[in-house]
Amino acid sequence: MKLLEERILKDGRAVNEDILRVDTFINHQVDPELMSKCAKDFASHFRGKGITKVVTIESSGISPALLTACDMGIPLVILKKQPSKVLNDNLYQTMVTSFTKGTNYELTLSKDVIGENDHVLIIDDFLANGEAVTAAVRLLRMAHATVAGVGVLIEKAFQPGREKLTDAGFEVYALARIGSMSRDRIEFI
Ligand code: G4P
């Protein structure tokens, strides 16, 4: 998506060859007009696939995911991060390790909000190592739901996230695909 690529070039900041800061328009301050256009792109790409719910992982995925759900006229489910296992029969949980942030958490889904009749679109801000989305897929499988595809704002194509997901049979739709970057240069695929 040209608009997102242009905004990354204008306001994104590559901290090094691996990490892109997007704090002024996606992650910390959010540009609602840009997010709304990104959401329209996701919605038109995935429309007509029988999707019943949009699912995201807290917290930075929430703004594009909410606007996508709004555009598609379906609910949004936010997978929560808990610091440790919660003993509760009504929850599914799975451990996630974030390589970028060096943290572990239990991704959590209530049995009340996703079930076997759901066909889900996963939306997130970044696709890096694909650990978060893979964990989301594990939870959705525990709930016997199916996955229609994965939409991300920014894919760091030099990391293995896409390969992991496509090898598992999922369609990945990224609005901006970064092939490489350094402090003074960002290149898109
Ligand atoms: P994954 O998301 O593909 O599994 O990869 P990884 O475990 O490496 O990334 C974990 C967290 O780091 C995610 O945020 C992800 O959005 C974020 N992240 C990955 N690469 C970048 C980057 O280049 N720039 C920025 N700004 N973030 C990146 P999270 O832990 O889910 O937290 P949140 O920001 O959604 O709250």
pLDDT of residue 103: 87
Structure tokens at 83: 């610091």
Q: Give the start-to-end residue ranges of the domains of the chain.
A: 2-188
Q: Which atom of ligand 1 is nearest to the CA of 159?
A: 3
Q: Which atom of ligand 1 is nearest to the CA of 126?
A: 16
pLDDT of residue 67: 98
pLDDT of residue 88: 85
Nearest CA to ligand 1 atom 10: 98
CATH class of 2-188: alpha beta
Distance 61 CA to ligand 1 centre (A): 10
Ligand 1 pocket mutation pick from 98, 99, 134, 137 by most atoms within 8 angstroms of CB: 98
Question: What is the DSSP code (8-state) at residue 83?
Answer: S
CA distances from 77 to 37, 111, 112 (A): 21, 11, 11
B/e letters for 17-31, b = 16+ CB within 10 Å, e = fewer, are eeebebeebbeeebb
Nearest CA to ligand 1 atom 36: 59
Residues of the chain with pLDDT under 50: none
pLDDT tens digits, residue range 33-62?
Answer: 999 999 999 999 999 999 999 999 999 999
Ligand 1 pocket mutation pick from 22, 126, 134, 186 by most atoms within 8 angstroms of CB: 126
